[in-house]
């Protein structure tokens, strides 16, 4: 049996394991006992990450739409069609009538090639990916506060924090191997865990404080905590004076957020607000951990800025086991952002608005770079529905399950003149495409992923791809050549060499160095640089850390008599994102074969529903029938629904209202009603 080391394709933790190969097939997984993150452990998804690789539903040949049906075609026919149709749209309607969706499931190299394709070949900044739907507000908020929109500290450091504040993260289910560090900190080192979450989750058992707040009130409770810190003399005055700016304006605003006022807004008792403030502020090393419970709001950027405020007011930034630590949801969502699959930056977060940056990339790529900011994921769908976006090239994304208000998404995609989807399965989105291109899975390719702590790690080819499937970077490069642009690489490592030249934070990250060090954390500006385990030591990336005065704003949609429940969506342990891979894993799909909605027993009694009975959930955008999961773990008048299941698609219901800065939709709060189904 051959064993090939690789990196997990699921969450952003970046665990490593061996793919076990026999007779050209991946037959199992073996843990990597010396890896610095997973250390011989894996979650249930990691243990079964081989099962979808040889699924009979894998795409093996290109498909083109003829007579309303998708039929098999040759690569030449399919790629010529893609190139000719995109060229035609560009010539007739302009470069900005075409959009490109890159992918957090694909490698850094593939995301770099895709964003190069958008800018150098199509001539547009209309390039984005699913970070827009999960952590766009992290990138926007932390960049404003600190100068860098990434996790400040490393995973290992969590184990040695004195206090860990977790909010908006069901860490044990979503990032199990990171949760191990949190639990070891609590059980082995006496750390205090503060949890702020509306639901009772597994972390609740280990928390010294579990504050259950009303969804959508994060800014209010954080302002209340800072109010106590200031009034009780718990702020780090020296850090504020020497390392930050904007404190007085922020202080003036939070003086209005007394614990009593915050209790009225959030339902967290005033004394609990005081207890959170004292526990967090008195720690010598306190770490904030959050995920999409903070980011997926119309106030997502405000929520992130508030977390940054709280870290800075206590001096918990720029030293080990502290910081603001967003846990990225997908295996390479950090890398896709790093490599410029965003509408306003190139790789390394170099702004498209900067003339010198544009000149640098124009000279490197031999094409004039567009200067206007591009459209985001949701804006592309809206533009398609309005008839302004004519063509869309999607690589490894599935907006027909991942985006909010799916009826509107379908309307937009069906109005396009041309849709091409490149993926490993015929997803819900690919079913609508004019051309479908078969790509390689992680087990069949070489490249790199960047995990949530900024660690760039290798993915190694273990088996051959099924049928005629090809690497994503190779497919995109072929389309570019057919459109008249000479884009040619011999390997993924060739692409990384170009990344090194154009991306200062990745300059010192080579395949050889990654192999020698189990990966390197950026910024790594030179070939002898060891990588950076934590950011903002001595000074912030932007110079001084910036406080922001952030007032509380309610969610875009609030409950009323017609829609009296707050609906929130999220992930679960056994499944992942749109289920493209996990629901094609026999083990994982057997564990949880269908969707559900959590509701409180009192609410279930009120509508005459029992556990496992069918219910209809309705919002202003649509209605879905699913199964009730009755539990004390969720407050009254709140509903929680995982979004992995096409048969009960939670995003038929969610609100597409956007954060005005990050343009992230409000997945975590919308008004709903629920009734039993006979």
Residues whose CB is less than 8 angstroms from the CB of residue 386 and which lie 6 or more positions away in sequence, other chains included: none
Mean pLDDT value across residues 438-459: 98
d(CA 218, CA 207) in angstroms, rounded, equals: 19
d(CA 539, CA 34) in angstroms, rounded, equals: 33
Is residue 350 over pLDDT 90? yes
d(CA 150, CA 456) in angstroms, rounded, equals: 13
d(CA 151, CA 454) in angstroms, rounded, equals: 7
CATH number of the 63-134+331-521 domain: 3.40.50.740
Q: What are phi and psi of 633, to 5 degrees?
A: -75, -5
Residue 205, number of CB atoms within 10 A of its CB: 12
Alpha helices, H only, 30-135: 44-47, 75-93, 108-116
Q: How many CA atoms lie within 13 A of 100 on its CB side?
A: 29
**Quick one: pLDDT at residue 131?**
84
Confidence label for 22 from pLDDT (cuts 50, 70 and 90): very high
**Quick one: pLDDT at residue 130?**
87
Is residue 192 over pLDDT 90? yes
Mean pLDDT value across residues 290-317: 97
With a pLDDT cut of 70, the percent of the chain lying above it is 100
pLDDT in tens, 109-150: 999 999 999 999 999 999 999 888 888 999 999 999 999 999
**Quick one: pLDDT at residue 133?**
84
Token code pair at residue 124: 């547009």
**Quick one: pLDDT at residue 403?**
87
pLDDT in tens, 476-510: 999 999 999 999 999 999 999 999 999 999 999 99
Token code pair at residue 38: 């997973």
pLDDT in tens, 54-92: 999 999 999 999 999 999 999 999 999 999 999 999 999
The H or E element containing residue 128 is strand 127-128
Pick from 478, 405, 396: nearest CA to 430: 396
Token code pair at residue 471: 């690497």
Domain boundaries, the chain: 2-47, 63-134+331-521, 136-327, 565-676
With a pLDDT cut of 90, the percent of the chain lying above it is 95
Confidence label for 646 from pLDDT (cuts 50, 70 and 90): confident
CATH number of the 2-47 domain: 2.20.25.90
Is residue 282 over pLDDT 90? yes
Specify the 3-state DSSP secondary structure of 203.
Answer: helix
Q: Is the pTM of this model over 0.85?
A: yes
Q: What are phi and psi of 151, to 5 degrees?
A: -55, 130
Task: Name which of 299-313, 408-422, 635-649 the model is least confident about.
Answer: 635-649
The β-bridge partners of 673 are 618
Sign of CA dihedral 132, 138, 139, 141: positive
**63-134+331-521 and 136-327 agree in CATH topology:** no
pLDDT in tens, 418-435: 999 999 999 999 999 999
d(CA 492, CA 496) in angstroms, rounded, equals: 6
Selecting from 3.60.21.70, 3.40.640.10, 2.40.40.20, 3.90.1170.50, what CATH number does the domain 565-676 have?
2.40.40.20
Mean pLDDT value across residues 371-390: 96
Tally of helices (H runs) and strands (E runs) in the chain: 23, 28
**Quick one: pLDDT at residue 100?**
98
d(CA 84, CA 417) in angstroms, rounded, equals: 13
Q: Chain-centre distance of CA 164, in angstroms? A: 22
pLDDT in tens, 520-542: 999 999 999 999 999 999 999 99
- The answer to whether the CB of 79 falls within 8 A of the CB of 487 is no
**Quick one: pLDDT at residue 135?**
86
**Quick one: pLDDT at residue 618?**
98
Q: What are phi and psi of 218, to 5 degrees?
A: -65, -45
Is residue 678 over pLDDT 90? no
Residues whose CB is less than 8 angstroms from the CB of residue 507 and which lie 6 or more positions away in sequence, other chains included: 500, 501, 524, 525, 526, 527
Domain 136-327, what fold?
A: Dimethylsulfoxide Reductase; domain 2 (3.40.228)
**Quick one: pLDDT at residue 644?**
87
Mean pLDDT value across residues 346-372: 97
**Quick one: pLDDT at residue 576?**
85
Token code pair at residue 136: 């766009």
- The answer to whether the CB of 422 falls within 8 A of the CB of 439 is yes
Is residue 578 over pLDDT 90? no
């Amino acid at each position: 049996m051959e064993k090939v080391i690789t990196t997990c394709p699921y969450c952003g933790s970046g665990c490593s394991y061996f793919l076990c190969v026999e007779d050209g097939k991946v037959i199992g997984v073996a843990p990597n006992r010396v890896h610095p993150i997973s250390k011989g452990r894996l979650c249930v998804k990691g243990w079964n990450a081989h099962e979808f690789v040889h699924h009979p539903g894998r795409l093996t040949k290109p498909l083109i739409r003829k007579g309303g049906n998708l039929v098999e075609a040759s690569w030449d026919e399919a790629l010529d069609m893609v190139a000719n149709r995109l060229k035609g749209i560009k010539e007739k309607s302009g470069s900005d009538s075409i959009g490109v969706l890159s992918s957090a499931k694909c490698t850094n190299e593939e995301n770099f090639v895709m964003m190069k394709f958008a800018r150098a070949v199509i001539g547009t900044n209309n390039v984005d990916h699913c970070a827009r739907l999960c952590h766009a507000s992290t990138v926007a908020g932390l960049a404003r506060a600190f100068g860098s929109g990434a996790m400040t500290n490393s995973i290992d450091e969590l184990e040695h924090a004195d206090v860990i504040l977790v909010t908006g993260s069901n860490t044990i289910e979503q990032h199990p191997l990171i949760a191990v560090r949190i639990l070891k900190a609590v059980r082995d080192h006496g750390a205090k865990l503060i949890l702020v979450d509306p639901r009772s989750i597994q972390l609740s058992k280990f928390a010294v404080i579990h504050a259950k707040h009303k969804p959508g009130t994060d800014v209010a409770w954080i302002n209340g905590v800072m109010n106590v810190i200031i009034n009780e003399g718990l702020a780090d005055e020296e850090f504020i004076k020497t390392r930050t700016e904007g404190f007085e304006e922020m202080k003036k605003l939070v003086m209005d957020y007394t614990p009593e006022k915050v209790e009225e807004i959030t339902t967290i008792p005033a004394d609990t607000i005081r207890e959170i403030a004292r526990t967090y502020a008195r720690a010598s090393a306190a770490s904030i951990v959050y995920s999409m419970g903070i980011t997926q709001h119309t106030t997502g950027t405000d929520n992130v800025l508030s977390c940054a405020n709280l870290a800075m007011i206590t001096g918990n930034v720029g030293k080990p086991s502290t910081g603001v630590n967003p846990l990225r949801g997908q295996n390479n969502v950090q890398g896709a952002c790093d490599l410029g699959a965003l509408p306003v930056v190139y790789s390394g977060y170099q702004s498209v608005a900067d003339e010198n940056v544009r000149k640098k990339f124009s000279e490197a790529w031999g094409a004039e770079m567009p200067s206007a900011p591009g459209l985001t994921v949701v804006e592309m769908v809206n533009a398609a529905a309005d008839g302004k976006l004519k063509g869309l090239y999607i690589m490894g994304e599935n907006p027909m399950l991942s985006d909010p208000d799916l009826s509107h998404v379908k309307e937009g995609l069906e109005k396009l003149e041309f849709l091409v989807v490149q993926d490993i399965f015929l997803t819900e989105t690919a079913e609508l495409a004019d051309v479908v291109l078969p790509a390689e899975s992680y087990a069949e390719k070489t490249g790199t992923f960047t995990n949530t702590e900024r660690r760039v790690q290798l993915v190694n080819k273990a088996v051959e791809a099924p049928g005629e499937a090809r690497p994503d970077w190779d497919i995109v490069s072929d389309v570019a050549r057919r459109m008249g642009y000479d884009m040619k690489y011999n390997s993924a490592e060739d692409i990384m060499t170009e990344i090194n030249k154009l991306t200062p934070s990745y300059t010192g990250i080579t395949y050889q160095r990654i192999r020698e060090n189990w990966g390197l954390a950026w910024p790594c500006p030179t070939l002898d640089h060891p990588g950076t385990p934590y950011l903002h030591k001595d000074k912030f990336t932007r110079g001084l850390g910036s406080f922001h005065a952030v007032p509380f704003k309610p969610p875009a949609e609030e409950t009323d008599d017609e829609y009296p429940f707050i609906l929130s969506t999220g992930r679960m342990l056994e499944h992942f994102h749109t289920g493209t891979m996990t629901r094609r894993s026999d083990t994982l799909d057997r564990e949880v074969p269908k969707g559900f909605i959590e509701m409180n027993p009192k609410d279930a009694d009120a509508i005459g529903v029992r556990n496992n009975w069918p219910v209809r959930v309705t919002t202003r955008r649509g209605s879905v029938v699913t199964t009730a999961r009755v539990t004390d773990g969720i407050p009254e008048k709140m509903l929680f629904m995982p979004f992995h299941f096409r048969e009960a698609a939670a995003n038929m219901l969610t609100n597409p209202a956007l954060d005005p800065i990050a343009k992230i939709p409000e997945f975590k709060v919308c008004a709903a009603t629920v009734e039993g189904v006979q």
